[in-house]
Amino acid sequence: MADKGSDPTELWRNMLGEMEKGFNAFANQAMASPEFSKVMNQTSGAAAGAQKQVGDLMERYLTGMNMPSRAQMVDFGDRLQSIERDVSEIKTMLRHLVQPTAGGDPGLAPARPARTKRPPSKEGGGT
């Protein structure tokens, strides 16, 4: 078995560990400074601005291609759900109007048309 002092993998691990400690110390020191915070805020502001510009550009592109944007599709979906909800309520109301109630209250049942046709009589006369 190789000696720990001459083992290349152990030397490599030690070197990486020391490099990691040094980098962590440097990063912690850099992040503690107010300049770092300022730069990070500017960077995130620039990224948000770039994202808004790309969104506006995409919106114009889709309009030019006569295609709906994401915002328009979301609005369309919301309106469609509202319509479906209204249709469901109308169906429920119609069922209650058409079907007699469970209690059998004839006042709530729909009125039936008067029966004006009569079956033929035994003598052969009808109407």
Q: How far apart are CA 105 and CA 96, in angstroms?
A: 13
Distance between first and last Cα of the chain: 118
Q: How far apart are CA 14 and CA 8, in angstroms?
A: 10
pLDDT tens, position by position, 59-98? 889 889 999 988 899 999 999 999 999 999 999 999 988 8
Q: Work out the average pLDDT over 11-22.
A: 93
Q: CB 31: neighbour CB atoms within 10 A?
A: 10
pLDDT tens, position by position, 89-122? 999 999 988 876 555 555 555 667 888 888 788 7
pTM of the entire structure?
0.40
